[in-house]
Amino acid sequence: MTPRQTRLIQSLADTLPDRAIVTDRTDIAPWETDWRQRWHGTAPILFAPDSVAQVQAIVAAAGRERVPLVPQGGNTSMVGGATPPADGTAAILSLRRLNRIRSIDADAGLAIVEAGVILADLHAAAAAVGRRFPLTLGSRGSATIGGLVSTNAGGTQVLRWGTMRGLVAGVEAVLADGSLYDGLAALKKDNRGYDPNQLLIGAEGTLGIVTAATLRLAPAIASRAVGWIGLASPDDALRLLRRFQAAGDLVESFELLPAESLAAVLAHVPGARAPLAGEHRWHVLVEAVISDPDAPSPAQFIERVLVQAIAENMVEDATIAVNEAQAEAFWRIRDSISDAERATGPAAQHDISVPVEAMPRFLIEAAAACEARFPGTRASGFGHLGDGNVHFHVRAPRGADRATWLAEEAPVVTRFVDDLVVAAGGSISAEHGIGQMKLAELERLSPPPRMAMLRAIKQALDPHGIFNPGKLVALAPGAVAE
Amino acid sequence: MTPRQTRLIQSLADTLPDRAIVTDRTDIAPWETDWRQRWHGTAPILFAPDSVAQVQAIVAAAGRERVPLVPQGGNTSMVGGATPPADGTAAILSLRRLNRIRSIDADAGLAIVEAGVILADLHAAAAAVGRRFPLTLGSRGSATIGGLVSTNAGGTQVLRWGTMRGLVAGVEAVLADGSLYDGLAALKKDNRGYDPNQLLIGAEGTLGIVTAATLRLAPAIASRAVGWIGLASPDDALRLLRRFQAAGDLVESFELLPAESLAAVLAHVPGARAPLAGEHRWHVLVEAVISDPDAPSPAQFIERVLVQAIAENMVEDATIAVNEAQAEAFWRIRDSISDAERATGPAAQHDISVPVEAMPRFLIEAAAACEARFPGTRASGFGHLGDGNVHFHVRAPRGADRATWLAEEAPVVTRFVDDLVVAAGGSISAEHGIGQMKLAELERLSPPPRMAMLRAIKQALDPHGIFNPGKLVALAPGAVAE
């Protein structure tokens, strides 16, 4: 423990209950490493406050003693965003005990939720009042609201409901001097200058500690239909999506899969079956929902659009799940891709976006460019076509040694892919954020005016650099290790 | 002209064409005063660039010479946001010549539009490709895109489409050092840290000069229906709105009017007729639209909801316009309220918002509180109930002298109303912005942590204070004159 850290604990001993200051190595250890065991840090202190006032006291004292704080929720970052630095100079600030749902108003469609509430618990609370929170992702059993706000999380319903930015109606956060910013009021219109909420959403805990958020709830689903579609190209898939959207506002998910992703699932996931009998180069999973039980059924809606699309040769074949079990089976294929592809061998994975209209071409051309540049690799993207966001994987040549390839080849592949993304006007982080993993690439690829803005904002709101050091934006240019 | 201004012109003489530097007093005069003639300033120079490179050159030189720039579009600010300071130290930077629609893509539903494009021209361009830009307001014939972005403009379609923030998919802006920030790529998902676009939207030109924006287009309207509804209370109106929303996503406008607003229109607007035969304490204008010509008609949709609402005594009486002429007549009543109320006498006007659920109670209680505190006044609000945003007017006692009352009483009334708004968790500027008019009230009523954030952001991105001085946020506390 550094002298600064010792002084920090001493200065808080009278203010905080004992259980809010954890220094036992065994208790801290699980939180020093990310869930995928890729990032390892050291923190001699873990703060576990259970009130906003305690968070304020911790931040104020940390600011005085210049001890950096690494905010942490469910520790499910994909980019090392919640792992402390290795040098042991920081403290972890866990928000998990700040876990009350302060209010939930079905009529207004709003809930005020503290940072430590787990996403699945919010789903349950919303369902209990006949509503739903329309954002979900694989880590819903451990991801917390504070982390979801701070990473502007996405998922499979973004097409219809947007990312967290679209679902957050208000933010409460502790600022660098320990003061409390209260932006919780759910105002649909508010033109009192720069909106601090918009800055805090997606800031990865580098500008303030999000302690609560006001979230929008959607009507509960009365009925859903899930279809599986075989088609020849991503271009046809995008045209099909536009047809669905022109016909109504019912489509919540529209996930694109190449044949090789489906093949990987069929090969590695027990019990998985191909939804269609024939072979297709590309596949789409579509889900349509209705909230009004009296509205025409979403299955009829999907069918109506598909019949016309088949007649126009936009679609090769299609089926609609006949029951919930089959619908779940379709979704299980989509949700198993990452695991199945991992089982097929090592890959360089990229969470990227380009403008939606550019994605079909990007998928074809970037895959071809990768395979040409790195002989023996196989490249393809799958995911949220309607958001212009795919997970673009470049698999190692057959027989490559996993550890060697990931350590030596994958970073080169990643820089190549990132260059293609930038050339297409896209983003090297569509939904996972920057964290530690993409910091060097952000520095390398951001135009200087943009990077200067990010640095100026960070410097302005966290002048002593106490919030989540080494994540998202490095204050001094060149301080980032490759 | 100050020595700094003289040097500025000299330094730009070689770079800019002559017509981009205006110093003729007669040519500048119309732009030194806002359109309502409430704010008067002086600027010995007006820059009128017609390229982004020229804007960059002007900003870079102005930064070196420390000459503040007042960006201006259509000069239709409601809060003095585009009027130069009276001391003559600034220059006006008119963006009106930067008026190209760079691209318009009907399939993608996106247009890249320069700052000087007039809203009505964008409406026409979108219609020409079978789309529409779903934001409109009274000043559409002169308001420009740059101003609409910079003020996060609202209007009567916010209920369905959101404010400009929801319609802006990308922003291009010149920063304080003259560098160009290019955030035009329309990425639906992009988690590369703080989003500069979100900061520039609604910044009133105080952080950068918006030169272009990527805007979302909506499907063209296939058919619309407009209804007029009489009811007993704002509470019933909000319940009715929830019914409409639960029944489908068709309602684009839902405007609330008290009986006195309707009476003012009937008394002062030639040809205006009451849509309903009986007397009602409150009225609602509702508009529903469909984009798919094959969808059930919006009139049927309105009727279906109203029949049930009448059966439950939520609605007293209602009618649906039988043709476009009648629909236009209903809208003309709504659009004439401000003029009609002006004809009835002086009033203190407030563009305010509170959380939507709190608005019915606020309307009743705030009106009662005002009338009790200021005997002889009559207070009421009208407008965008579904956005939690009304225009709350407190009319002077009968016989009061207009000039005296506006100068002496109205400011006291405004502070009283603003206090009520803050107590209800609301915003003293829902859609008009802060500009010069609300600067003192923003300082008075903002919690210090929020105000400190605004100042820190301004200081970080405009360190020499060259962008729109004296608007939105004063850098030094206490520098604002009451």
Rounded-to-integer distance, Cα B368 and Cα B364, Å: 6
Residues A213 and A315 in one domain: no
Rounded-to-integer distance, Cα A362 and Cα A380, Å: 10
> What H or E segment, with its residue span, contains residue B113?
strand B110-114
Strands B223-231 and B251-258, by their bridges, are unpaired
Rounded-to-integer distance, Cα A472 and Cα A462, Å: 13
Give the residues across from B111 on adjacent strands. Answer: B104, B215
Q: Are B97 and B55 in contact (CB under 8 A)?
A: no
Confidence of residue A478 (pLDDT cuts 50, 70, 90): very low
**B259 to chain A, minimum CA–CA distance in Å?**
25
Q: Which A-chain residues 417-436 have CB contacts (< 8 A) with chain B?
A: 425-434
- Compute the mean pLDDT over every residue in chain A, rounded to the nearest whole number: 95
A250 lies in some domain? yes
pLDDT of residue A412: 98
Residues A86 and A123 in one domain: no
Count Cβ atoms within 10 A of the Cβ of residue B393 and give its class: 0-12 exposed, 13-18 middle, 19 or more buried.
buried
Residues A128 and A203 in one domain: yes
For residue A273, the domain's CATH number is: 3.30.70.2190
Rounded-to-integer distance, Cα A3 and Cα B324, Å: 76
Rounded-to-integer distance, Cα B46 and Cα B59, Å: 13
Residues B253 and B327 in one domain: yes
Confidence of residue A480 (pLDDT cuts 50, 70, 90): very low
Residue A102: how many other CB atoms lie within 10 Å: 13
Cα distances (angstroms) measured from residue B259 to each of B280, B286, B332, B379: 7, 16, 16, 12
Q: Which residue of A has its CA nearest to B208?
A: A453
Of B337, B357, B376, the one marking the end of a domain is B337
Q: Which residue of B has its CA nearest to A432?
A: B191
Contact between A246 and B291 using a beta-carbon 8 Å cutoff? yes
Residues B105 and B214 in one domain: yes
A245 pLDDT above the threshold of 50? yes
Contact status of B445 with chain A (Cβ, < 8 Å): no
Contact between A427 and B105 using a beta-carbon 8 Å cutoff? no
Residues B70 and B57 in one domain: yes
Question: What does A306-327 look like in DSSP terms, one character per residue?
Answer: HHHHHHTTS-SEEEE-SSHHHH
pLDDT digits (tens, 9 = 90+) for B356-384: 999 999 999 999 999 999 999 999 999 99
Residues A184 and A112 in one domain: yes
B11 pLDDT above the threshold of 90? yes
Residue % of chain B over a pLDDT of 70: 99
pLDDT digits (tens, 9 = 90+) for A426-470: 999 999 999 999 999 999 999 999 999 999 999 999 999 999 999
Average pLDDT over residues B234-252: 92
Q: Which residue of B has its CA nearest to A425?
A: B185
- CA nearest neighbour of A438 among B187, B198, B186, B193: B193
Contacts of A182 in chain B (CB under 8 A): 447, 449-450
pLDDT of residue B51: 98
Cα distances (angstroms) measured from residue B279 to each of A205, B327, B329: 55, 20, 19
Residues B308 and B359 in one domain: no
Q: Which B-chain residues 82-111 have CB contacts (< 8 A) with chain A?
A: 105, 107-108, 110
Q: Sign (positive/negative) of CA torsion B413, B419, B421, B427?
A: positive
Average pLDDT over residues B74-81: 94
Residues B369 and B321 in one domain: no
pLDDT of residue A294: 82
Strands B251-258 and B378-384, by their bridges, are antiparallel
A201, A453, A468: best to mutate for the B interface, most B CBs within 10 A:
A453
B456 lies in some domain? no
- Compute the mean pLDDT over every residue in chain B, rounded to the nearest whole number: 95
For residue A159, the domain's CATH number is: 3.30.465.10
Residues A285 and A209 in one domain: no
Contact status of A356 with chain B (Cβ, < 8 Å): yes
> What H or E segment, with its residue span, contains residue B150?
helix B145-150
Confidence of residue A388 (pLDDT cuts 50, 70, 90): very high
A306 lies in some domain? yes
Contact status of A440 with chain B (Cβ, < 8 Å): no
Q: Are B447 and A172 in contact (CB under 8 A)?
A: no
Q: Are B172 and B210 in contact (CB under 8 A)?
A: yes
Burial A108-137 (b: 16+ CB within 10 A, else e): bbbbbbbbbbbbebbbebbeeeebbbbbbe
Average pLDDT over residues A367-374: 98
B70 lies in some domain? yes
pLDDT of residue A155: 87
Rounded-to-integer distance, Cα A13 and Cα B238, Å: 50
Average pLDDT over residues A46-67: 98
B192, B289, B431, B468: best to mutate for the A interface, most A CBs within 10 A:
B192
Contact between B185 and A425 using a beta-carbon 8 Å cutoff? yes
- CA nearest neighbour of A241 among A271, A284, A205: A284
Of A310, A337, A364, the one marking the end of a domain is A337
Of A404, A423, A442, the one marking the end of a domain is A423
**B405 to chain A, minimum CA–CA distance in Å?**
27
B33 lies in some domain? yes
Q: Are A48 and A115 in contact (CB under 8 A)?
A: no
Task: Look up the ipTM and state it.
Answer: 0.94
Return all residues near A372 (Cβ < 8 A) that are at least 6 apart: none
- Domain containing residue A188: 104-219
Residues B169 and B249 in one domain: no
Rounded-to-integer distance, Cα B316 and Cα B114, Å: 47
Rounded-to-integer distance, Cα B189 and Cα A427, Å: 8
pLDDT of residue B482: 28
Nearest beta carbon to residue B460 from set A185, A187, A460: A460
Q: Are B154 and B163 in contact (CB under 8 A)?
A: yes
Contact status of B480 with chain A (Cβ, < 8 Å): no
Return all residues near A53 (Cβ < 8 A) that are at least 6 apart: none
Structural domains counted in chain A = 4
Give the residues across from B287 on adjacent strands. Answer: B226, B253
Average pLDDT over residues B196-221: 97
For residue A415, the domain's CATH number is: 3.30.70.2740
pLDDT of residue B481: 31
Q: Which residue of A has its CA nearest to B387?
A: A188
Rounded-to-integer distance, Cα B454 and Cα B472, Å: 9
Residues A253 and A305 in one domain: yes
Confidence of residue B49 (pLDDT cuts 50, 70, 90): very high
Give the residues across from A212 on adjacent strands. Answer: A114, A172
Nearest beta carbon to residue B189 from set A154, A180, A192: A154
- CA nearest neighbour of A188 among B82, B355, B131: B355
Contact status of A247 with chain B (Cβ, < 8 Å): yes
Q: Which residue of B has its CA nearest to A429?
A: B191
Contacts of A458 in chain B (CB under 8 A): 194
B318 pLDDT above the threshold of 80? yes
Rounded-to-integer distance, Cα A228 and Cα A256, Å: 10
**B139 to chain A, minimum CA–CA distance in Å?**
18
H-state helical runs in B345-461:
359-373, 402-404, 410-423, 439-445, 448-461
Count Cβ atoms within 10 A of the Cβ of residue B249 and give its class: 0-12 exposed, 13-18 middle, 19 or more buried.
middle
A446 lies in some domain? no
- CA nearest neighbour of A250 among A320, A299, A309, A311: A299
Rounded-to-integer distance, Cα B471 and Cα B465, Å: 11
pLDDT of residue B480: 32
- CA nearest neighbour of B416 among B367, B346, B482, B355: B367
Return all residues near B41 (Cβ < 8 A) that are at least 6 apart: B32, B33, B70, B83, B84, B85, B86, B90
Q: Which residue of A has its CA nearest to B173?
A: A449
**B151 to chain A, minimum CA–CA distance in Å?**
7
Rounded-to-integer distance, Cα A399 and Cα A95, Å: 44
B476 pLDDT above the threshold of 60? no
For residue B79, the domain's CATH number is: 3.30.43.10
A189, A450, A459, A464: best to mutate for the B interface, most B CBs within 10 A:
A189
Return all residues near A96 (Cβ < 8 A) that are at least 6 apart: A48, A72, A73, A74, A116, A144
Confidence of residue A213 (pLDDT cuts 50, 70, 90): very high
**B223 to chain A, minimum CA–CA distance in Å?**
15
